[in-house]
Structure 1
């Protein structure tokens, strides 16, 4: 297949957890560009959590917030904020259960409880630190994503009472935080908007990912590649499995496919 675009997740894909993008991965991305291959980043991160990676890779087309926000060549082309009535419902529930929420807007993020241990845990390895959310923050700003800080078994209360939202754990190994997005919004939705702008069909695209939030993306494209560290469900959604991010799995996969 003559692929025209390579789509890359960040965490656990081009960025090993807790590390930096390797020289081998950056070189592979540059080789793609030298061959006039379009490179896109599709991440669950907010734009302001992605600046350093975007600068390192030189990518100018991105999908953020698990598909709720898309840029092409630095210009916004799509955004899908969570409706205020839905935010109100989840906010009231989180207050009742005493679970902190992080509200992620287009340019900033705020959290309802800075001292909660689950919040401290969620941001302890990050260079960015949250600020306390004013009571009207979620009303006064467009919110594209939430982080819900609670135990895995407590998610069920939210899923049952706020069906408009989708809850996906950061990891399967004890994480007390999950991404919260609109149920009808995922990476495939944002990427479809971006691919339309690029004039590229989904089956002409290749994507790499490792998380549950990558399943729709890997299913959308012509060649979905799961990282070696991915969970079983992610690998089942992919056409191929490569090595882990720590083993430069993106570069290895691109070499196996003959793209570099």
Structure 2
């Protein structure tokens, strides 16, 4: 059997079900990987300062957050890449002109264009974001990532980036009007690459699971990339394998197919 050394797991729609719980089979799969001394890393678009508690029960303390902008291994920051301030200003300007809202993330707080908007309140509730404040220019050089909450059916098409940036629809029920801003050279795939180099782990020895389009670079980069059964339809072409859904033991079944679970 091929040797694997590290496992990367997306959160929403991958380990977390729509009701914000984790299947017992997923917990068992993670515990078995740790028993085999396979590193387990949570790789997410979420801000790390809001997800530490998710890693407590499965005892995970390594993260790639903000869609690849910040990497932490066993409490140590491995890399951090803030967004270009001019790109942030452009997004804020277009959002203001069109009535969209923006959620901007630093390494310790979430900054929003409006705290009273119903769209914003729904977003904060969905992702359990609690460390929130109104955005001010003083933090514009500290933004690690952001999400645009659009209005209108094709609201994301208002944002035209010359190069190096694209939008990724949030693959969570009721949140499809939200789009993560992804940088070509700052994404989960690049984050995985940087962490593997730091740990001296070969790319071929890595596994990843994901369900959203912000996972495509990660699934394409690792040795074995699993798209969840509930994944965005366009994600499957970027993964080497397809597993069952987050509601049907997707992680457990995927690892079992590799012979890592009996």
For normalisation by structure 1, the TM-score amounts to: 0.92
State how far apart, in whole Å, the 1-side matches of 2:62 and 2:133 are: 31
- Match in the other structure for 1:220: 221
Per the TM alignment, residue 163 of structure 1 is displaced from its structure 2 partner at its CA by: 4.0
Q: Is the 8 A contact 1:103 1:109 kept in 2?
A: yes
What secondary structure sits across from 1:44 in the alignment? coil
Partner residue, 2:144:
144
Aligned to 1:118: 119
Change (3 A) 1:66 1:24: same
Partner of 2:248: 247
Measured in 2, the distance between the counterparts of 1:57 and 1:162 equals 41
CA shift in 2, pair 1:95/1:255, >3 Å: same
Give the root-mean-square deviation of aligned CA atoms.
1.9
Once residues 71 and 47 of structure 1 are traced to their aligned partners in structure 2, the CA distance between those partners, rounded to angstroms, is 9
Partners of 2:259 and 2:56 lie apart in 1 by 26
Instruction: Answer whether contact 2:41 2:62 (CA < 8 A) is retained.
Output: yes
CA contact (8 A) 2:66 2:144 kept: yes
Moved over 6 A (4+): none
Going from structure 1 to structure 2, the CA distance change for 1:114 and 1:173 (only over 3 Å counts) comes to: same
Give, in whole Å, the separation in 2 of the partners of 1:161 and 1:204: 35
Residues in 2 aligned to 1:161 and 1:243: alpha-carbon distance in whole angstroms: 35
What 5-or-longer segments of structure 1 have no aligned partner?
none
Give the secondary structure class of the aligned counterpart of 1:245: coil
> Following superposition of structure 1 onto structure 2, how do residues 1-260 of structure 1 map, counting pairs within 5 Å?
1-129=2-130, 131-139=132-140, 142-151=142-151, 152-158=153-159, 160-161=160-161, 163-171=163-171, 175-260=176-261
Identify unmatched segments of 5+ residues in structure 2. none
Contact kept in structure 2, 1:111 and 1:130, CA below 8 Å: no
Instruction: Give deviations 1:63-96, integer Å, cap 9, x for gaps.
Output: 1111111011110010110011221222222222
